[in-house]
Chains A and B, each alone.
Chain A
């Protein structure tokens, strides 16, 4: 009986694994989550949440144009992602409008352009899957692209891990000791665009910013060590993805939304119960709070 099989934890986990699309979805979403989680610690510490939102929305027209031209959608997304940041920088420098306003107007402009393009280019683009993600319907070529991009981002972040940490922490010192701050700035932006591209397959353009900031914010509440923060961020992102996909499978819910909700719940848990920085400071109960 359906109801009985649901009750055992074993089948709760193993049943979905009998489906090919579920195995693929779980694997790919975990990979994407790991990449976004890795980047997330840098973005939250640098204070680039709004930038993450901007870049992830701005990739929309790039995705549409790339699909229409038969190019890899990551290429189009990347060009528009970096382009939006360049445009934000340009308008900020050449006008008296404040930065957050510029960011807001540029990314909504790009996003609107994307939506208009979708309605004009009558192709087989599925607007719903771009906006809300479709981890269950990911194609083989998308799988290859995602793995490639993910590897690239992980390698870049690993090589420049410490430099990026220094860049987020004290760019002036970095510059003073001859480290190329300009390069690091654009490296981080490039990784952000690439992560947004892979992330949007899991949760869609609208929610991908959550993948880029929530795991980092959660980890920030749980540790005072940068390496631990990265680790916790990656783990919480992966766990959220798995929970989100399982829950959406069993309860027939929107997958992207479920993944992000799982992240939000993990954040709330940390917000309430983090040993040192949580509202209730669990540490106080066990070891006495200093």
Chain B
């Protein structure tokens, strides 16, 4: 087991910009996260949340700025299996002919040989991961036959099997059942204790207060960033959501 230095930054993004064919999706965004921190990424649709994730995973190139993962480049983070990405349910083709086992095994691909033939250790990692998300009864179930919550857990298991130290989760709580929600929150606490760094995007303000040590409010750029208790104020949220009152977002009782 590698020792974790809790003082070093896991993620350092400095003034990053991303544009798609000249259209700016994100500019001057900064983020610094240490091991064991959970950060909520909050913003409207089109505010650049997914773009931020894409920049961190290297799926899109940044046009300006710098990203360091564990002090190294995004490219070496990819090679080291440092980052795992858990997509939103809408982001994947649920009709793809593939079983739970095969999806979770994909978490191991990056560390396998060119034919991606699983070793004993890969099989064990996949088994353990599936057990942790409580899907052992569904090993060979095609993902198309799973519920939304089960499918979400499958992709979480893939991230666990990958043994990544950074988890990026796109809307982990959207469209899941109560049981899955409870399981995910338990896993978050375990991940935190294991020293993993978690960045999750969410629409649900209650989850931010519940899990996130830090919050990053974005609207094409960083509106506010810091400890949840300090930054997650009605004023900041209103600014982030372009003037919509937090009452509307939280519901009248909060």
Contact = CB atoms under 8 A, between A and B. Distances in A.
A177 B122 CA distance: 15
A163 to B, nearest CB: 7
B246 interface: no
Interface residue tally of chain B, by bracket? 35 or more
A94 to B, nearest CB: 9
B162 A177 contact: yes
A225 B142 contact: yes
Best-buried of A166, A172, A173, A179 by chain B (most CB within 10 Å): A173
A179 B102 contact: no
Interface string A201-238: 00000000000000000001001111011000000000
A123 B162 CA distance: 59
A143 B84 CA distance: 47
B116 A176 contact: no
Interface stretch (B37-45, B75-83, B128-136, B190-198): B75-83
Given A179-B109, A225-B97, A226-B102, A173 B85 contact: yes
B102 A177 contact: no
A229 B98 CA distance: 10
A165 B116 CA distance: 11
Nearest to A41: B97
Nearest to B114: A159
A228 B142 CA distance: 13
Interface in B83-99: 83-85, 87, 91-93, 96-99
A185 interface: no
A158 B96 CA distance: 19
A249 B55 CA distance: 58
B116 to A, nearest CB: 4
A224 B93 CA distance: 13
Q: Which of A174, A177, A224 has the most CB of B within 10 A?
A: A177
Contacts of A176: 57-59, 78, 83-85
A177 B57 CA distance: 9
A169 B115 CA distance: 17
B54 A225 contact: no
A223 B144 CA distance: 12
A171 B60 CA distance: 12
Given A172-B57, A177-B78, A178-B79, A166 B96 contact: no
Given A175-B59, A179-B110, 15 more contacts: A159-B114, A168-B96, A169-B92, A169-B93, A169-B96, A169-B98, A170-B92, A172-B54, A173-B87, A173-B158, A174-B109, A176-B83, A176-B84, A177-B110, A225-B97
Per CB-CB distance, the 4 closest pairs between chain A and chain B, nearest first, are: A177-B110, A224-B142, A178-B78, A162-B116
16 contacts: A93-B21, A159-B115, A165-B98, A166-B109, A169-B96, A172-B54, A173-B106, A173-B158, A176-B85, A178-B75, A179-B110, A223-B97, A225-B97, A225-B99, A226-B96, A228-B97
